[in-house]
Amino acid sequence: MQDFAALVMADAALAARLAAIEDGAGFIAEANRCAKAHGIVLAETSQSAAAQPDALGLARWLPPAFAGSALPPRDWLPIAVAAQPDAVAIDWAWFGAEPLRAPFYEHEIRRALRRPFNRAFRYRTGLLDLIAQAATLETRAPDGFIFHMSRCGSTLVAQMLAALDDSIVVSEAAPIDAVLQLGRGLPEDDAVPALHAIVAAFGRKRSGRERRYFLKLDCWHTLALPLLRRAFPAVPWIFLYRDPAEVLVSQMRERGSQMVPQFFPPDFFGIAAAQDTAAEDYCAGVLAAICRAVLDHRHVGGGLILNYRQLPDAVWTAVLAHFGVSCTAQEEEAMRRAATHNAKSPGMPFTGDTEAKRRAATAKVRDAAARHLGGIYDRLESLGASLS
């Protein structure tokens, strides 16, 4: 199987043909036929991963079948960062030339791993290998970063930008998050090359038509704003925020992982004794830390602050120009159409929820929002639509 894997890695057309087969049995039959044509006999045991459906996606947590120091071809993207006893590894999967259009990168990973091809040929390199070879990648530099408070329209902005046919839009990719978390504990001389490398890996020109590249970051990444700015000093960024009570209503209904102390240690956000803190207060404290980081680091330059209520119009009146992107009338119309759909469930129409969330805000929610975020929200509002 190792010899056949090397053959597949070296032949983009063969990889694409095999990856297009969605049926496990059909994939195995074609893989055997292709291998035999090259004088390679595949052991039956080596094909078991591809044959078995993996509806729950559990196989992704197992070590890939193949590893090496050479980076995979341009059709491959990182899907995970794995800590090993002596190194940090990058796991890759085949995505082909199709653009990323799902609301979150996690959705793209799940779709990719449903392919028998990726169950059979998932590949691992070292992070140091990626850093060493990043300059050889055919990639595009980012045109803009999207920071956000959470639950405030960032997915809408990303989906609108994804409506541009020649754009790369990566939305909250776990491998970028992992490298950022790793980078916070490293000297800058080590963290910056790692960030350059992982961002370059996602900016690969898989179709060859890509002219724009946008990264939507996780909400906590505002705390890493200085590091990201040092790594990418010329890349403009925006920060989206919303009335704190409305955001808290959403978090009380379904808390994001960053709002759960068991997932993110409270001291990560400067919060102590979380076990004695009411849910509303804890979530408001996390939101305050996320927003405060933007205020504390606003002088790093390159930023644009926008309120949720300014969307979607602000995308074509402010965001595109800030990112240095020009659009045709046809492209703008495509973005307008994207804005009529629910950003997180694109098959459904968009329905405004501002009034409903205001009505749903309990006294505890309003009190927590006022105590933890009232002053911060006022400061964000006073900054207007730009940062120095």
Per residue in 238-265, pLDDT (tens digit) is 999 999 999 999 999 999 999 998 888 8
Task: Specify the pLDDT at position 131.
Answer: 97
The first and second tokens of residue 79, run together, are: 């899907």
Peptide bond into 116 cis (omega under 30): no
The first and second tokens of residue 113, run together, are: 């791993």
Task: Specify the pLDDT at position 247.
Answer: 98
Task: Specify the pLDDT at position 273.
Answer: 67
Would residue 278 be called left, alpha or beta, if left means φ above 0 and alpha means ψ between -120 and 50 degrees?
beta
Per residue in 205-251, pLDDT (tens digit) is 999 999 999 999 999 999 999 999 999 999 999 999 999 999 999 99
Per residue in 307-348, pLDDT (tens digit) is 999 999 999 999 999 999 999 999 999 999 999 999 998 888
For residue 238, what is the DSSP state? E
The CATH 3.40.50.300 portion of the chain extends over: 139-166+211-388
Look at 12 and 56; give whichever has higher pLDDT: 12
Confidence label for 85 from pLDDT (cuts 50, 70 and 90): confident
The first and second tokens of residue 68, run together, are: 């090496």
For residue 137, what is the DSSP state? S
Neighbours of 22 (CB within 10 A): 11
In this structure, the strands spanning 76-83 and 88-94 are antiparallel
The first and second tokens of residue 277, run together, are: 């803190």
Instruction: Give percent of the chain above pLDDT 90.
Output: 77
Instruction: Give percent of the chain above pLDDT 70.
Output: 95
The first and second tokens of residue 267, run together, are: 């001291």
- Asked whether residue 274 carries a pLDDT value surpassing 60, the answer given is no
Task: Specify the pLDDT at position 262.
Answer: 86
CA 369 to chain centre: 28
Residues 174 and 80: their CA atoms lie apart, in Å, by 7
Task: Specify the pLDDT at position 385.
Answer: 47
- Asked whether residue 158 carries a pLDDT value surpassing 60, the answer given is yes
pTM recorded for the entire structure: 0.94
- Asked whether residue 136 carries a pLDDT value surpassing 70, the answer given is yes
CATH of 139-166+211-388, one of 3.40.50.300, 3.30.1280.10, 3.40.50.200, 2.40.37.20: 3.40.50.300
Question: Does residue 41 sit in helix, strand or coil?
Answer: coil
In this structure, the strands spanning 88-94 and 123-126 are antiparallel
Per residue in 25-81, pLDDT (tens digit) is 899 999 999 999 999 988 876 666 666 777 667 777 778 888 999 999 999 999 999
Task: Specify the pLDDT at position 256.
Answer: 94
